[in-house]
Amino acid sequence: MQVAAAASAAPSASAGAFSTLAGNIDTFLTLLTTQLRNQDPLKPLDTEKFTSQLVQFASVEQSIKTNSHLEALIALQGASDRQSALAFLGREAVIASDKAALTDGRATWTYTLPSDARAISISVLNDKGVVVARSAGAAAAGAHEFSWNGVALDGAAAPPGVYRLAVDALGADGSKLTAEIQSAARVTAATFGEGAPKLETSIGLIELDQIRRVTGE
């Protein structure tokens, strides 16, 4: 049996691979010792070859250790994210989102302009993307609150639900300005699954990194 055959069995880095790797190294060293003991003095074993195999084993072992450390860090981060998600339960939070819930005839957002706008128009859209209300808005740079009373373009009261805010603004040079939009919602539950935890709110599921601040209980 050739030494290379044992080396080819080196496992890829994965959980629980240390025991397999150790077994392969033991087999490799046993074969190597046997070959050295029984080698033909006139045709000595190619040391470059088995040195290369040892280097391969060392590389695989290092990869396994690195992956184990990464898995531990990922597990710690996941536990931290879950704790953070649970800490938001029942709290009112300001969220980076263009959505707000219309409740008791009122939906409120905050939009922030990076610079003064020479023209600005604000639209409220329903869950189908249809514009249900329009309004002028404050054009100065900075943060502005926009509150909609739930009255639609046809004068009827819009049904309760989640609505989106769209801010169309032009800068002094005529270029389009991008407004940062936020709204407030209460966190009612946390959802855990694949990936980062998500929070259930009155405007739907949100990511942890959408929360800008917590305003109170």
Do 201 and 104 share a structural domain? yes
Do 57 and 35 share a structural domain? yes
CB 162 within 8 A of CB 206: no
CB 177 within 8 A of CB 125: no
pLDDT of residue 15: 47
Query: pLDDT-derived band of residue 116, with 50, 70 and 90 as boundaries?
Result: very high
> Higher confidence at residue 189 or residue 102?
102
Do 150 and 129 share a structural domain? yes
pLDDT of residue 87: 76
What is the residue-averaged pLDDT of the chain?
78
Domain that holds residue 61: 3-87
Give whole-number Cα distances, 42 to 36, 38, 39, 83, 161, in Å: 13, 12, 9, 68, 88
- This prediction has a pTM of 0.61
Among the listed ranges 18-22, 33-37, 63-67, 84-88, which one has the minimum average pLDDT value?
18-22
pLDDT of residue 85: 67
Task: Read off φ and ψ for residue 85, nearest 5 degrees.
Answer: -60, -45
CB 123 within 8 A of CB 168: yes
Do 97 and 83 share a structural domain? no
Do 191 and 115 share a structural domain? yes
Determine the average pLDDT of the residues in 81-110: 86
Residue type, 34: T
Among the listed ranges 45-49, 93-97, 128-132, which one has the minimum average pLDDT value?
45-49
Do 50 and 63 share a structural domain? yes
Do 118 and 172 share a structural domain? yes
| Residue 130 scores a pLDDT above 80 | yes
For residues 172 and 174, what is the distance between their CA atoms, to the nearest angstrom? 6
| Residue 1 scores a pLDDT above 50 | no
Q: Which of 117, 119, 169 lies closest to 140, judged by CA?
A: 117
Query: pLDDT-derived band of residue 73, with 50, 70 and 90 as boundaries?
Result: low
| Residue 59 scores a pLDDT above 50 | yes
